[in-house]
Amino acid sequence: MTHLLHLDSSPRDDRSISRTLSKEFIANWKAAHPSDTVTYRDLGHHPVPLIDEPWIAAAYSAPDQHTPEQAAAIRPSNELVDEFLAADRYVFSVPMYNFSIPAGFKAYLDQIVRVGRTFSVEADGSYKGLVTGKKLLIITARGGSYPKDTPYYPYDMQEPYLRLIFGFIGITDVEVIHADNLMGGDDARQQAIATAQSALKVVVSR
Tens of pLDDT along 131-147? 999 999 999 999 999 99
Give the confidence band of 6 by pLDDT, cuts at 50, 70, 90.
Answer: very high
Query: Cα dist. 7→3, 91, 98, 111, 121 in Å?
Result: 13, 6, 20, 14, 28
Rounded CA gap, 137 and 200, in Å? 9
For the cut 90, the answer to whether the pLDDT of residue 14 exceeds it is: no
Query: Are 130 and 84 within 8 A, CB to CB?
Result: no
Quick one: average pLDDT of 92-119?
Answer: 98
Report d(CA 160, CA 154) in Å as an integer: 10
* Residue 74 pLDDT: 98
Instruction: Count how many residues are written for the chain.
Output: 206
What pLDDT does 27 receive? 98
* CA separation for the pair 121, 151 (Å, rounded): 37
72 C-beta neighbours (distance < 10 Å), count: 13
pLDDT band at 206 (very low <50, low <70, confident <90, very high): confident
Q: What is the pLDDT of residues 53-81, one digit of tens each?
A: 999 999 999 999 999 999 999 999 999 99
- Report domain 3-205's class: alpha beta
